[in-house]
Amino acid sequence: MKKVFIDPGHGGKDTGATAHGLLEKDIVLAVSLSVKKRLEAEYNGVQVLLSRSADVFPTLMERTEAANKAGADILVSVHCNAGGGAGGFESYKYTHTSAATASLQNVLHTEIMTALKPFNVIDRGQKAKNLHMVRESNMPAVLTENLFVDVAADAAKLKREDVVGALIDGHVAGIAKYLGLQKKEAAGEVSDKVNVIVNGKPIQDGKLINGVTYVPLRATAEALGATVGWDNKTKTATITKET
């Protein structure tokens, strides 16, 4: 059983960054809760622990102590950014870190930016900094900064369910890929991997289930030169292709 420790930054009296009607603490909690739900529902052999599951404020020391005591395999601290500029996404590891942590950062950062590609989010890069959450954790640890609440273009994106959904998708995919998690199969289904090529591009994770071929919607749409939108309330995916 792999243990994943997710830390939604701030909380309670500490709102984190605020601007354009957004509170960092609310965004990162929603993302973290969804990442936990998705990982445990969709993958075998994983347990997701949270530093907080409500609007409360654990101290930084309490967060890392909980992760260390639990013997978590990895830690991901989820934040939003502030400070103006052009906005974008970036990730952090500790300045003096292991190869395992560097690998976690690379996989997680890459998967999140892949999920954000349809939304033209700036990639600010993989960085290192002396931050408590990544310094005091005994396991590979990465902190993600998910767009800028005080940059108008980023704030508008953070108010969109499809963009927040992409952030969730990226975190889930990155964690699952780094840990080598295997997806669950519905009871009674017979599943076989199949090779799917769209417009000359191979689509990963194609499966044949009970005579029906399933492929990832976003990857298929991108191969066709289209974009995917997602409405979390209605659970509706839309594919749009400019002509």
Cα angle: 74, vertex 177, 141; to 5 degrees:
20
Written as six digits, the tokens of 24 are 């960092």
Q: Is 111 a catalytic residue?
A: no
Residue of 81, 33, 77, 80 lying closest to 55 (CA atoms) = 33
Dist CA 240 CA 130 (whole Å): 42
Token pair for 3: 């243990």
Within 13 Å, how many C-alpha atoms sit on residue 15's CB side?
8
Give, as one character, the DSSP assignment of residue 182. Answer: -
Q: Which of 145, 185, 222, 242 is catalytic?
A: 145
State the catalytic residues.
145
